Structure 1
Amino acid sequence: MPFQTGHVLLIALISLIACCLIMALVWLWAKRIKNAGVVDVFWALNFPVITVITFFFSHGFEPRKILICGMFLLAELRLGIHLWQRVIGHLSEEEGRYQQLRKEWANQADRNFFIFFQFQAISNVILAVPFFIVTANTAPTISVLEYIGLAIWIIAFFGEMVADRQLAAFKRDPKNKGKVCDTGLWHYSRHPNYFFEWLTWMAYFVFALASPWGILAIISPAVILYLLTKVTGVPNNEEQNLRSKPDAYKKYQQTTSSFFPWFKKAV
C-alpha cells in the first residue's frame, strides 16, 4: 500500500481532538487545585495517547510500527512518570514559573491558562510528525538509517534518565540546600536533561528519514530545540535558579556549558 497522505492527516486530526479534550479536562483540574504545573505531566502523557491511536489506525509495516511505537511509548511514559512524581508531591505548591504567569495574567489567568493548555495539545501533534510519517511507511524491511535512529534514541533515553536521577539524588540530600548540582552529567552541562530530551527527538528525525516525506520530521527537533533553549526550558530554569541561589548559579554559568555537554571553562 503506497503512502496515503489523507489517511495520515486523519490520524493527526483524531490525535489533535483527543489531546485537546484531555488538556481541557486537565485545565479544569488545574483550576480547581490552583496548580497549572500539572500541564507538564499531561503534555508528556499525551504522547502515549497519540501512540495508541496511531498504532491501531496506521497502515505501515508492522515490525516498524512496533519498534517506533515502543520507542515513543517508553520514552514518554518515563518522562510522564518522572514529572508526575515531581509534581504530585507538591500539588499544593505551584511551580515558580506558573506562579509568575498567574501574577502577570491576574484576572485573565484562567482564560489564558486554558489557551496555554490547548497550545500544549497542539504542540503534541506537531511534535508527533515523525511518528505519523514512520508508522505510514509500508516498506517491508528496517533500514540502516532506522537502526542508526534507534542507536541515538538509546543513548538519549538513558542519558536523560541518568541526568534526572542525578539531580533528584542531589536535591534529596539536605546538605545540598542552596547549592548547585555540579556532579555527573551536570558537570558538563547546566541542562543535560534538556539536551538528551532534544537528542531523543533527533533520533526520531533520523529514523523518519528512511520513510517517504521523512525530511518533514525535522520540525520536531527544531521546535524542541527552540522551546528548550529560548522559551520554556533553559530560560525559565535559569531565572528560577538565579532567584533561589544567585551567587552559586552565576559561578556555575561562568564555567559550564548551557545546553550541549562540554568541558568546563577556566575562569
Structure 2
Amino acid sequence: MSSPDWNVLVPNLLITAAVAAAVLLVTFAVAVRRGLHRVVDIAWGIAFGSVAVVTYVLSDGHGDDGRRLLAAAATVVWGLRLAVHIAHRSRGHGEDPRYRALLDKAPGNPTWYALRTVYLLQAGLVWLISLPVQLASYSASPLGPLDAVALTLWAAGLTFETVGDRQLARFKTDPANRGRIMDRGLWAWTRHPNYFGDALVWWGLYLLACTTWQTALTGLVSPVVMTLLLTVGSGKRLLEKHMAQRPGYADYAARTSGFLPRPPHRSLSRHRR
C-alpha cells in the first residue's frame, strides 16, 4: 500500500475548502433573496458532489484511476439523489421549523447569525466529512477486496435511504394518513431509515480511503462526525423533538428502534393503529 503524496493533497484540501464555502455562500445569497433558509438542505448534497468532482479533476495523475472514479461517482450519485429528493419534498412549503426556531433566538441580526451558524458551519462540515473521498483519490493503491466491502456498504446505505424516502413520500400522499405516524415498511424497523442509510454510505466511502493506517486514522473523523450529526446533532434529535407532540408518536418510539434497524417491539406492536 502507498500513502498519498501530501505535497499534492494539501493544495487539494485548500481548494476544496474554498469550493465548499463557495457553494454555501451562493446558497446563502439565494436564501436571503427568497427569504427561505431551508434551501440550504438542498445545497448539502450539491456541496459534497462539487468537492468530489473538483478532487477527481485535481487528483488526475496522482491516484489510482479506478479508486478516483469510484470515490467521485459514489459521492456524486449520493449527493445528487439527496439534493433532488429534498428539493422535491420542499416544493411549495414555507420555512423549515428548525431554521425558524434558530433565527427566532438569534442574538443580533438573524441573517448574519444564519450565515455563521448554518452556512459557514455546513461548509466546514462538508469539507471535513469529505476527507475520505479526497484521501482515496490521492491513493495509488489499486482497488481490492476491502473496496468491494466499501461499495457494498455504500450501495446498501443508498438503497436503504432511497426506499425509506419513497415509502414516506407515498404514505404522505394518501389523504387517509393525514395526522398519522408512518410506521410501515422500513419505518417499522427504524424511526430513521434515511439517516441510517446516510451513515452506511459514509462508512462505505471511508473504507475507500483505508489504503494505509495513516489514511484510515485521518479519514475516520468523517463517518464518526456524520453518524453523530445524524443521531445526536441536527438530525434525529431535532426531528424527534419536533415530532414528540404528534399523537401516537410516543407509542411508535417505544416499539421502534431509534437508529439501527431491528424488528419492532412485539409487546407493543399489537397496539398499532
TM-score tier by shorter-chain length is over 0.9
Task: Give the corresponding residue for 2:158.
Answer: 157
> CA–CA distance in 1 between the matches of 2:103 and 2:15?
31
* Corresponding letter in the other structure for 1:73: V
Query: Structure 1 residues 27-36 or 189-198, which shifts more?
Result: 27-36
| Residue segments in structure 1 that go unaligned for 5+ positions in a row | none
Does residue 53 in structure 1 map to residue 65 in structure 2?
no
Q: CA RMSD in A?
A: 1.5
> CA–CA distance in 1 between the matches of 2:52 and 2:264?
39
Task: Give the corresponding residue for 1:185.
Answer: 186
Task: Give the corresponding residue for 1:133.
Answer: 135
Taking the TM superposition and a 5 Å limit, the aligned residue runs for 1:68-79 are 68-79=71-82
Give the aligned length.
Answer: 262
Task: Give the corresponding residue for 1:66.
Answer: 69
Query: Structure 1 residues 78-87 or 159-168, which shifts more?
Result: 78-87
CA apart distance, 1:11:
0.8
CA apart distance, 1:215:
2.8
> CA–CA distance in 1 between the matches of 2:223 and 2:19?
23
State TM-score, norm by structure 1: 0.94
> CA–CA distance in 1 between the matches of 2:220 and 2:92?
36
State TM-score, norm by structure 2: 0.92
Does residue 19 in structure 1 map to residue 25 in structure 2?
no
- Residue 3 to residue 170, structure 1, CA distance change in 2 (3 Å): same
CA apart distance, 1:262:
0.9
- Residue 217 to residue 154, structure 1, CA distance change in 2 (3 Å): same
> CA–CA distance in 2 between the matches of 1:154 and 1:110?
38
Task: Give the corresponding residue for 1:224.
Answer: 226
What SS does the corresponding residue of 1:3 show, helix, strand or coil?
A: coil
| Residue segments in structure 2 that go unaligned for 5+ positions in a row | 269-273
CA apart distance, 1:106:
6.2
Which 4+ runs in 1 deviate beyond 6 A?
none
> CA–CA distance in 2 between the matches of 1:123 and 1:63?
26
Taking the TM superposition and a 5 Å limit, the aligned residue runs for 1:227-246 are 227-243=229-245, 245=246
> CA–CA distance in 2 between the matches of 1:68 and 1:2?
16
Q: Is the 8 A contact 1:153 1:204 kept in 2?
A: yes
